[in-house]
């Protein structure tokens, strides 16, 4: 068997496994995560080292929300510390009756949405959803994060953090839910995560 055929079969097998592992949950209509994220900002946080990165904690953070989409990164500069982005929704942005009328995607560390006709006001879409860069704080959280599926309702706790790389590059977290665009994403150091099929304590 030619080498290229072996490689092709391996890639197909990996792709099928990845799709099955992260296949979407299908939920009936209704709000699945009613509450807004809980955040407590503090002035003097802790400083943590993760490889070539320094993390500075800015606030405690906890939320229950519906996973609108997930995107895994392996090749960009941030992949070693934040391998996964989750687009999260709460309130009416966790309701399938609303989400069925919104197209959602992720790429290049951003979350995008589009609709032909607004099922809820635009500001509510923007204020009740966010793209979050997820940094697992421990191996247990990392394993749970790998199992998270679109459509799943999850709960996680940890810290919002600013990130600085040794070469001086920095990446600051959002501290509010009503911002959009560059700088509008939360950077979450995840200490605990649990969900329908993902549990970390």
Mean pLDDT of the chain: 86
Predicted confidence at residue 53, as pLDDT, reads: 94
- Break the chain into its structural domains and give their ranges: 39-200
Task: Calculate what percentage of the chain has a pLDDT beyond 70.
Answer: 84
For residue 72, pLDDT beyond 70:
yes
For 7, the 3-state DSSP assignment is helix
Predicted confidence at residue 14, as pLDDT, reads: 42
Predicted confidence at residue 67, as pLDDT, reads: 97
Among 83, 122, 99, 102, which Cα is nearest to 27's? 99
Each residue of 78-119: pLDDT tens digit? 888 999 999 999 999 999 999 999 999 999 999 999 999 999
Would you say domain 39-200 falls under CATH 1.10.3470?
no
Each residue of 165-189: pLDDT tens digit? 999 989 899 998 888 877 789 999 9
- Taking CA atoms, 142 is separated from 91, 100, 191, in Å, by 26, 30, 9
Tokens of 82: 């934040």
pTM: 0.84
């Amino acid at each position: 068997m030619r080498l290229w055929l072996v490689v092709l079969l391996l890639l197909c097998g990996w792709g099928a496994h990845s799709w099955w592992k992260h296949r979407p949950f299908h939920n009936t209509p209704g709000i699945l995560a009613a509450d807004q994220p809980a955040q407590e900002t503090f002035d003097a946080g802790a400083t943590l080292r993760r490889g070539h990165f320094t993390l500075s904690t800015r606030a405690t953070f906890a939320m229950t929300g519906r996973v609108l989409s997930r995107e895994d990164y392996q090749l960009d500069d941030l992949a070693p510390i934040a391998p996964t982005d989750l687009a999260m929704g709460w309130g009416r942005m966790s309701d399938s009756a609303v989400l069925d009328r919104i197209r959602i995607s992720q790429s290049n560390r951003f979350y995008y949405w589009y609709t032909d006709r607004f099922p809820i006001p635009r500001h509510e879409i923007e204020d009740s959803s966010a793209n979050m860069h997820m940094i697992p704080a421990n191996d247990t959280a990392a394993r749970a994060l790998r199992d998270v599926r679109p459509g799943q309702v999850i709960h996680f706790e940890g810290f919002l953090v600013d990130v600085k790389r040794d070469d001086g590059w920095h990446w600051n977290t959002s501290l509010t839910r009503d911002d959009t665009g560059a700088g509008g994403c939360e950077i979450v150091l995840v200490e605990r995560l649990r969900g329908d099929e993902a549990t970390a304590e």
